[in-house]
Structure formats: structure tokens, C-alpha cells
Amino acid sequence: MLNKKRVIIGLVLALLLSAVAYGAGKTTEKKGHWVIGWSNSYNGNSYRQTEEAMFKNLADKMKQNGIVADYNMVCSNNNVSQQISQIENMILKKVDAIIIDPGSPTALNGVIAKAKVAGIPTIIVNDGPVTSKDCYQLNFRLTDVTRIEAEYVVKRLKGKGNVLVIRGTAGNQSEADLYKGHMDVFKKYPGIKIVGTVYGNWTHSVALSAVAGILPSLPKVDAVVGQGGDEYAAIMAFQAAGKPIPLVTGGNRGNFLHWWAEEAKKNGYQTVSVASNPWCGAAGLYIMVDILNGKKVPHEMIMPNFVVTQDLVAKYAALDPNAVACPTYDHSWVIKNLEKQKAH
């Protein structure tokens, strides 16, 4: 009888110590047998690679601590049909939940509905929103990202100048929202002329080729705006063409932030960097585990954007060129700042 009591006490202590070791602040996570699916529509740039790495890092820790049993990661490389097929395969494997960075605002609605029928909750992260009502969503207000950039450009140019716009991946809802943020501001100022528009696919090599290809046909460019992952490519293209580098607003990539910090020291170059945060995938994992453990969370949540101003850029001067500058948080932050949000 005494040995039985010792075993019970030992199990209780083990559970308490595990919760304390893994939990953040006053939060605790329940042990679970959950298998989590991760479906990414694209991982061909540093932002998406960072997003995946942060998700995997947290998933590994959760697995090590017994919070989840396992996880399954797939990527469809901008093929929406393949993403649908991959999610259907996860449903057949009876995963317990699926986190999705979507390749379309509408095309995944059917498979999301299938997951719901199968009792598998899904959450959209990063590249939403999607139009389905059958999933949770953790999105950015992406129009705010580019609105801030555009307003900065208008102010610096005093409402008059030639702007080159680098877009992301055609057909993507996030791309459309980011483009809208720029245009909603620029169309208010007749003196701002869009002299060129290219698609950079949020990828350095693609953006470099696109900007280099259009530059010879353009008049003097006073500013360049992008969507993250392509701004430093624009700088390189101007340098290669022997043209003066205009005002370039930036994303949160290490190569751009390092260049900006160095130019700020040498000649006072000024700009702003506004971007979404790739830690959203890890945040989605925290939220999904809470959902599986029976917690009620909002169906739509907003992840804050990340802004680097002139007085902060020196902090990122030593960042690796391929790294993505972003703040990271813990479970307590997710509960306080995401799960307790009011309806949007």
C-alpha cells in the first residue's frame, strides 16, 4: 500500500515538474497524444524557411515534453492542387489538427470542410485570410504593413515622385492585400507616379532579375517599395546598373537591414522596415494545442506586424544576410495577446 502511494505521489510530482519546466508564466500545457499536421504552400524564401524552422523548433520541444506525440510537415511549392492533396492525406492519416499556410484564399475551402467533418480542427496562419468559416485564422493586417511604407514614401517625397513597385507571388491573397495597402495610399496623391511594377515572388533572385530587366526602360526612380524578401535585390540591381540608389523601404531580411545600418552610419541613409513575423507558425501551434485541450479561442485573431525604425536598425546590423529579423514570444504572450482578442 505504501509503495502504491509513493508511485501515485511520484506521478503527480512528475506531471507538476513537467508543467513548470515547459510552461511560460502562469500557463501550463496538458500532456497529449496529439499528432499535428503542418501544411505550407511555399518555402522557397528565407521568411517561409524561418517560419518552418520556428514551428519545428517549438514542435520538437512540445514532443520532447510530451505535449504532442508527433507532427507531420509538408510543402506544396505554390501548387494549390498539391496542397489540397497533402491535406487530404493528413485527414486520411487521422492527424488531430492541421496548421495551414495557404496558397489560395478560396481553393482550400473544400478540404478545410472535409477536415471539420472528420473532427480535425484547422488554423490558417500567415498567408490568410481564407474565406472558409470552418477554420480558425491567425492573420496579419497586411494592408497596414504596406500602408505604413507608402505613407513614409509620400512624406519623404513630399507627395511627388516616381515609384517602382515590386509585388510578391501572383494570385496569392497576402500579395493582393500588400499591394492594396500600397495603392490605397498612392492613389490619393496625383504627384506619385507608378513608373514600373514587377513580380519578385518574395524571392531575392527572382526580384533581382525582374528589377534589373525593367530598369533600363524607366525614368529616374525616386522610391522603391516591395513586400519583403525583395528590397535588397532592388538595391543590388540599381548598383549593377550604375544608378543612384533611391529611397527603398525594406522588409525584415538580414541583408537589407545590414546594408541600411551601414549606409546610415556612412551617409545617413534613412528608410523604414515593416514586415509580418514568421513566428506566426509557432503561435499557431500554441493556439492549436490549446484548442485540442478544450480551450475556447477566437476564430479570427490578428498577429502584430514588426517595424524597424531608424533608431532601431543598428540593432540588426550584424544579422546574418539570410536571417529574418523577428521577435519571438512564449505561451503566456499568445494567451494574453492572441487568444484573448475580441472579435474582429
The predicted-structure confidence for 286-303, as pLDDT tens digits, reads as follows 999 999 999 999 999 999
Q: What is the mean pLDDT of residues 205-223?
A: 97
Asked if 150 and 270 sit in the same domain, the reply is yes
* Predicted confidence band of residue 29 (pLDDT cuts 50, 70, 90): low
pLDDT of residue 344: 63
Amino acid at 288: M
What is the β-pairing status of strands 223-225 and 70-75?
unpaired
Q: Grid coordinates in use for 283?
A: 503561435
Q: CATH number of the domain at 177, please.
A: 3.40.50.2300
Identify the CA nearest to 191 among candidates 157, 163, 160. 160
Asked if 293 and 192 sit in the same domain, the reply is no
pLDDT digits (tens, 9 = 90+) for 229-286: 789 999 999 999 999 999 999 988 999 999 999 999 999 999 999 989 999 999 999 9
Q: Is residue 251 situated within a structural domain?
A: yes
- Reduce the DSSP state of residue 200 to 3 states and report it: coil
Range of 229's domain?
Answer: 143-275
Asked if 237 and 332 sit in the same domain, the reply is no
* Predicted confidence band of residue 322 (pLDDT cuts 50, 70, 90): confident
Spatial distance between the Cα atoms of 125 and 9, rounded to a whole number of angstroms: 41
Q: What is the mean pLDDT of residues 177-193?
A: 97
Q: Grid coordinates in use for 43?
A: 518555402
User: Percent of the chain, pLDDT > 70?
Assistant: 90
Q: Is residue 130 situated within a structural domain?
A: yes
Spatial distance between the Cα atoms of 286 and 295, rounded to a whole number of angstroms: 11
- Reduce the DSSP state of residue 40 to 3 states and report it: strand
Q: Is residue 46 situated within a structural domain?
A: yes
Say how many C-beta atoms besides its own lie within 10 A of residue 297's C-beta: 19
Are 321 and 254 within 8 A, CB to CB? Answer: yes
Residue 93: partners with Cβ closer than 8 Å, 6 or more residues away: 35, 72
Asked if 181 and 300 sit in the same domain, the reply is no
Asked if 261 and 283 sit in the same domain, the reply is no
* Predicted confidence band of residue 30 (pLDDT cuts 50, 70, 90): low
pLDDT digits (tens, 9 = 90+) for 50-97: 999 999 999 999 999 999 999 999 999 999 999 999 999 999 999 999
Q: What is the mean pLDDT of residues 1-30?
A: 38
Instruction: Judge whether residue 174 has pLDDT over 90.
Output: no
DSSP string, 284-321: HHHHHHHHHTT----SEEEPPPEEE-TTTGGGGTTS-T
Instruction: Judge whether residue 155 has pLDDT over 80.
Output: yes
The residue ranges of DSSP E strands in 114-265, in sequence order, are 122-125, 136-139, 161-167, 192-199, 223-225, 247-248
Average pLDDT of the chain to the nearest whole number? 90
The two counts, helices (H) then strands (E), for the chain are 11, 12
Q: Grid coordinates in use for 13?
A: 510530482
Q: Is residue 6 situated within a structural domain?
A: no
What is the number of domains present in the chain? 2
pLDDT of residue 24: 39
Asked if 285 and 228 sit in the same domain, the reply is no
Asked if 121 and 157 sit in the same domain, the reply is no
Asked if 254 and 221 sit in the same domain, the reply is yes
Asked if 214 and 290 sit in the same domain, the reply is no
pLDDT of residue 4: 38
